[in-house]
Structure 1
Amino acid sequence: MIINIYCQALGITPPKLKAVAGHREANTFALLLVALLERGEAMSLADVAARFEEAGIAERSRALLSLQCCQPGRPPVYREGDLYHLDPHDAELDLWAFRLGLRPPKVARIPPKVVEETPRPAPETALTFSELDEAWKDASLLSWSARRLAVAVLDAHGGSLTPAEVVSAVTARTKWHGLKEDAAKFKRHGSAVDVLADGRWAIAASADATVKQARAAVRDRIAVVRRYAAMRTDPTVIEQQRAEWEKKRAAHGAELASLSRALLVVFPPHRPKAAALLDVGEHAITTFVGGELAALPMRLASYDILGGVEVRGSLRALGFAPGERRLAELGPPQKTTKLNRRGRTLKITTALLVQGSCGIGKPFGDEKKLAEFLAKGELTKLRRRLEADVKSLYALYEYGRLHGVVRLRWGFLDERIPAPWVHHDEPVLYDIKRSALAMNVPL
């Protein structure tokens, strides 16, 4: 039985392309991911187009054209020759699996509470202060007239009140209202509120219609409040779920932190004759030149995470199959950035990112100089230069792990680009500062 390593890493059942084709998130790139997940191994675009035709998604030639236009080599997909592979450890793939309904949410959805409707009091039934508490608590009553607010309070009280008492009754429940103690507006002919001789307010004898309208408005608000309260999740439950999620995230972050890591530099990139390997945990550098390269694959096999610029190509050139190991690509996360509205662009290189992030003026040696060292047999100089190169990569790698981003600085430009080798569950400087603040301890 062939093991589907992609789905095994994600912890999901292999999907069926035909079943996902009608999903609202299923664009061409998403269906490419599903086809690779379904197959469980690398595929060419021609094979994917043929699979699209089998699933009834599109005719083969149109499917191939669409696949070629969807930037098929972007993460979590990578290309080797004509074959397209998935990186099962890329967080973007896990997110796509969730968006396409291939895995359940990490935090289970809480079903809404069932609230039994209570009989609504008759229009002839006076309001109560408990009804005002429920209807007006922290509500915006700016659209309510002063007359309606005053009538509602007086109806709940069952008698006359001073203007200050009426305003206080409303203010005690919400600060967003327009009722004031000014009685001028209630002295008009036909007002629903009478101003008595002693200055107190009372409901006018002819205000039955206004009173019923005020009662209906308050009880309508109560119905709305109860309906939305049933839709909201209990804050205690939310806090409990948040704590559980933080616990899982911390556990996964600790698991990732325990993985052994190494950074690799090879020269020349496509036919290596020399290499430098930096053990991130031990802070040790080993160089391999000529026949020493035969021992490099065994060293690489002892690490859980391998990083470098075009790391997959370097490992392929060394004849080392990474298998299910995590690979940290330290090349630029994007090729270019736009400088102005006229369309001028800047080519992003690893050297630019090292300079902007770590302040290293000349992070990497000249390839012509390295080739000269190799040709003349000046191996000591070659080893030193390779060691300096891998140290620069290490500085960039650790900067990304600390901040979660790398910095691109060029002239007036100063941008931060997410570091793709940092998993969302790995704590960065922001998390460390927040934790220190919560525990009231220094960094």
Structure 2
Amino acid sequence: MTRSSKLRLGLFVQETGHHIAGWRHPHAHADAALDFDRYVDLAREAERGLFDLLFIQDSSAMRGANDLDALHRTARAVTWEPLTTLAALSQVTSRIGLIGTATTTYNEPYQVARQFASLDRISRGRSGWNLVTSNNEAEAANFSRETHLAHADRYARAEEFVDVVKGLWDSWADDSFVLDKAGGRYFDPGGLQFLAHRGEHFQVRGPLTVARPPQGHPLLVQAGSSPTGRAFGAAHADIIFTAQSSLADARAFVADLRERAFAAGRVHAPLVMPGIMPVVGRTDEEAREKFAQLQNLVDIDLALATLATTLGEFDLRAYPLDGPLPELPPANGPQSRRALLVDMAKRENLTIRELALRVTGARGHLVVVGTAVEIADVMEHWFDEHAADGFNVMPTHFPDGLRDFVDEVVPELQRRGRYGTQYAEGTLRERLGLSRPHRQARAQGERDE
């Protein structure tokens, strides 16, 4: 796969927007997690902007539920279940890719394989699975578990999980369904194979009760940036979502990921799409005023609670706000994001207050405040420096944050020849230049246990 000369763009949808106080903006759709029509509007707006994909994250537990005083001042308590939402959005869009999150820690492979195969057929080849191992320790309590699995154990389970899912997606040959009315044959049994998997974590006989997906396999997307997460993503993912706040770190991440991918025997490395939170203004001053308006809506206690969650539920309120970040104890929650914020605080000599206010916006992702030209400059530079193949766009609030980007930044990228002017034909894989996985056939004797 030759590297494209054009940037790839994804819309990262999160409730009312990515800034923690975005829902309070006078123009914000504060009811986005309650009124599905708001998501329909967002998807159509992203498709107007020719975005390659729309991404919905998920957690199977409320984040920050132990601090209701902070939580009740955010729009983070409720959200749409991704697979249901994306299936519905597939009927009001026609081109944009649809990426949903499902955890390997609190799901079963057969269920996930069936859901994404169904979504791929419903959307005519536009689905993708954002594979996570769950960094929210509170999820354990919703699945009859006393404690959350350790980080290494979560990834060991995930390795077997994804192998089972891929095997289930290969249950049927592409031409299995002959639909021979005259001969009375609905499918050719020679095209069906049973998985008969027996492993450390799962025993799955198969076959999958959904025909092979149009893409062969829905896209595999992964966002872990810890050493274990990088190794996993390099071995399995088609796209990597990552949080990077500096060009140097982003370049190093991409280089490391590609080295790991080739070492794992892959011919092509995954596409890397860092998050970017753009604040677009007609002038620098207008952009800075827009960002300041949002920052001024943040309560410092809410900012500290948000930081605590991102650091693995470590409460910083006992420490001086205008002092440095203390040494943190080990945590079983988010590893790479926690490390990113700790490094950021040390590198930029940030106080706890400054770091907390930084987190309320993009949670460690790249923030660019400026004109469309300036934002396009940064995106183009990162692309040219092999720090990104594209970006996961994180609007501060909806709908204005997305509309500003589509109206101002997209045309600027198009003028530079860095972004497409129309959708290409084909499945999501084909439009992204990714190959369709070959079906891994099992020996005939393995079809029966």
Q: By the TM > 0.5 criterion, same fold?
A: no
Higher relative contact order (CA 8 A, sep 6+): 2
Higher-Rg structure is 1
TM-score by length of 2: 0.22
The structure with the greater share of residues assigned to helix is 1
